[in-house]
Amino acid sequence: MRAARYHEYGDTTVLTVEEAPDPAPGPGEIRIRVAAASVNPVDWKVRSGAVRDVLPVDLPAIPGRDAVGRVDRTGTGVEGVGIGDRVFGLGGVTGATAELAVLSAWAPAPAEWSDADAAGAALGAVTALSGLKALGPLPGRTLLVEGAAGGVGGAAVELAVAAGATVIGTAGPHNHAFLTELGAVPTTYGEGLAERLAVVAPQGIDLVLDTAASGSLGELVRIAGDPSRVVTVADHQGAGRLGVRVADAVNDSTWLAEAAALGAQGRYTPRVERTYPLEEIAKAHAHSEGGHVRGKIVVTL
């Protein structure tokens, strides 16, 4: 199969497109013929070697964790999915950006989602849901999402609105119309946030989800009034210092199905900023690494 790979840790120049061995699904896994895969910050952090102490990989490695495609093989013990079914889902830390990929968690991709949409859904949705579920019941609550225009933040906004929360989202001014489209009340991040929130949310902030790791976690705790009302999916170091809970993405097919059901209802649509062909994997990684991404970056195969 053709795949994006890197044989050593490094910058985007270590990425190449080449032939690689076909993967085989193990028990409880499926293999898909990939239509598209997304690029997430974890992909280039792993590729660079920056997180090798906590997320080591065997080299050469294929970047990518989530993808969409049609099932072409199933492992032992797999039920409820058949050859040719269109699914989206998650595999390991690596392996998705290739013609064939193995998934350990998946759900049917809604017909309402394009391949690019579905490719950008899995990791963003389960990361957002892990944070939202850690915060507890959302109906009638006012939730602040820090970093609301990113792939995880945008998913969190739509999923929280669907759950009945009033959502305030932070982003740069150029993304405020985008946040309004997602269903959030927009405001600008950074210095003076508490004063701006007093205007847009005079009723106060009940809960906070940090998806940005921008160094604002201490201020977010002060805004919420208690670290127990704040969850981060991004700032592990700050969380340990401040007593804030950390929520990590998990390969949970139930959560993927929950996101897909909202997708079929038109209540959650993964937002894709740009797509790249497989041959431009290095450009896709550079785009993600440059920051200020609105939604998701997707590689098509």
**Closest to 220 in 3D by CA, of 240, 242, 203, 201:** 242
**C-alpha angle with apex 207: 206 to 208, nearest 5 degrees?**
140
Cα 181 to chain centroid, rounded: 19
Q: pLDDT truncated to tens, each residue of the chain (301 aa)? A: 999 999 999 999 999 999 999 999 999 999 999 999 999 999 999 999 999 988 899 999 999 999 999 999 999 999 999 999 999 999 999 999 999 999 999 999 999 999 999 999 999 999 999 999 999 999 999 999 999 999 999 999 999 999 999 999 999 999 999 999 999 999 999 999 999 999 999 999 999 999 998 889 999 999 999 999 999 999 888 899 999 999 999 999 999 999 999 999 999 999 999 999 999 999 999 999 987 788 899 999 9
pLDDT at 291: 79
Model confidence pTM above 0.85: yes
Instruction: For residue 54, give both structure tokens.
Output: 């906590």
